[in-house]
């Protein structure tokens, strides 16, 4: 049976004042696992090409921020709006 909230890929969970999204459907799991894959891939590449921690951070951090922003956009666009933010 089709329900109103069955098409959301992510659902929010309140942690303090923040909303943390977790996947609920198959496409949400695909997006989440893809982002984790890219983060681990970038960690492995950064550890191979960098000789010190400074170059490791400079190489890894911009790519990790981009991956996390893309994940956040997926959560925002395909996720349920947190009901506690409505006033």
81 three-state secondary structure: coil
pLDDT surpassing 80 at residue 66: yes
26 lies in some domain: yes
Q: Answer yes or no: is 78 within a domain.
A: yes
The total number of structural domains in the chain stands at 1
Range of the domain at 52: 10-85
User: What number is the average pLDDT over the span 37-64?
Assistant: 90
4 in any annotated domain: no
Task: Check pLDDT > 80 for residue 27.
Answer: yes
pLDDT at res. 5: 54
pLDDT at site 41: 93
Please give the DSSP secondary-structure letter assigned to residue 9: S
Nearest to 75 by CA among 2, 17, 40, 25: 25
């Amino acid at each position: 049976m089709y329900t109103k909230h069955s098409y959301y890929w992510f659902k929010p969970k309140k942690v303090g004042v923040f909303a943390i999204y977790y996947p609920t459907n198959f496409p949400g799991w695909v997006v989440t696992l893809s982002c984790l894959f890219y983060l681990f891939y970038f960690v492995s590449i950064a550890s191979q090409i960098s000789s010190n921690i400074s170059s490791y951070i400079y190489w890894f951090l911009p790519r990790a921020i981009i991956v996390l922003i893309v994940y956040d956009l997926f959560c925002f666009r395909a996720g349920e709006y947190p009901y506690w933010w409505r006033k």
